[in-house]
Amino acid sequence: MAAQDGSEVAGMEAEVTQKVPEVPCEAAGQEDAARTEQASLTDGESTSAQPAAVSNGEESEEGKEMVEVKIIWNKNKYDLKIPLDGTGAKLKEKIHTLTGLPPAMQKVMYKGLLPEDKTLREIKVTNGAKIMVVGSTINDVLAVNTPKEVIQQEVKAEENKKEPLCRQKQHRKVLDKGKPEDVMPSIKGAKERLPTVPLSGMYNKSGGKVRLTFKLEQDQLWIGTKERTEKIPMGSIKNVVTEPIEGHEDYHMMAFQLGPTEASQYWVYWVPTQFVDAIKDTVLGKWQYF
């Protein structure tokens, strides 16, 4: 009986020994589950905090003074609302979102080339303003094989072989008439955007009065004389040739190449020097990135 009792006692001890570890393992499992659930809840709370930051950003933008403009690109029009104190660079980012056109490929024009470092307030953008964008996406560039760059290089090479343009006989007969009395004032050494009014008081190759009007909304250059006005798509202009007039370096003679050869050049004389770069940027903006 003693041995039997001993074996029973030993069996009971073994049974107790086996059962004792099960209790802490179960408790540990519950504790781990509780920790996992708590971590999940904590992650959920931190995740839900992120949209709040985005929402706050939108609210702060809405609190700013806004201006509504119309973006015109590739015959498409987009309505855009943007902070008036946003810079030209920020505007390019918005245009990228609307059109897919990268900022580096954009030429944005509002009364001339729009500066990236100035705010829309500084350049006096108003509600309803039309902002012209020229440029092509990378895919468009790869898909189009244009000879314009080759033409430009050939024209420049040909010019280097010749004497100064203002000394050539075909131009002297116009320049010898002297500076027109009603030509627009020039500012030597300055660079300005295109004026909101036509450039007037200049001569064409026949010695008649001519004016230039840049219709950015229509992507056209209007060349007006007393007899008629020609509306030329800017994309059809192959090149622009300019040269200061000797003795009057604050004025330039300028030619718009409307076809593949020099015979298609339309000459304009006594262009104020401060507008020369703005004219070239505007007219050649469609393809100078190619």
Q: Please give the pLDDT value at position 289.
A: 36
Q: Could you count the other beta carbons within 10 Å of the beta carbon of residue 186?
A: 19
Convert 159-183 to b/e letters by CB count within 10 Å (16 or more is b): eeeeeebbeeeebeebbeeebeeeb
Residue owning tokens 């593949």? 260
Q: Which fold has domain 66-141?
A: Ubiquitin-like (UB roll) (3.10.20)
Domain 165-284: CATH class, spelled out: mainly beta
Phi-psi region of 100 (alpha: psi -120 to 50; beta: other; left: phi over 0): left
Residue owning tokens 């504790």? 31
The per-residue pLDDT string of the chain (290 residues; one tens digit each, 9 = 90 and over) reads 444 454 544 455 444 444 444 545 454 555 555 555 554 444 444 444 444 433 333 445 667 889 999 999 888 899 999 999 899 999 999 998 888 888 888 889 888 888 888 999 998 999 999 999 988 766 665 555 555 566 666 666 665 556 788 888 889 999 999 999 999 999 888 899 888 889 999 999 999 999 999 998 888 999 999 999 999 998 888 899 999 999 999 999 999 998 888 788 999 999 999 999 999 988 887 443 33
Distance, CA of 122 to CA of 113 (rounded, Å): 14
The β-bridge partners of 222 are: 213, 231
Q: Please give the pLDDT value at position 139.
A: 61
Residue owning tokens 């009603």? 182
Q: Cβ-count burial of 48 within 10 angstroms (0-12 exposed, 13-18 middle, 19+ buried)?
A: exposed
Domain residue limits, the chain: 66-141, 165-284
Distance, CA of 165 to CA of 251 (rounded, Å): 14
Q: Please give the pLDDT value at position 195.
A: 85
Q: Please give the pLDDT value at position 60.
A: 57
User: What phi, psi does 235 have (nearest 5°)?
Assistant: -65, -15
Q: Please give the pLDDT value at position 42.
A: 47
Query: Is this model's pTM higher than 0.95 or not?
Result: no
Is 82 in contact with 96 (CB distance < 8 Å)?
A: no
* Sheet with 199-204, side-by-side order of all strands: 229-233, 220-224, 209-215, 199-204, 265-272, 248-257, 239-245
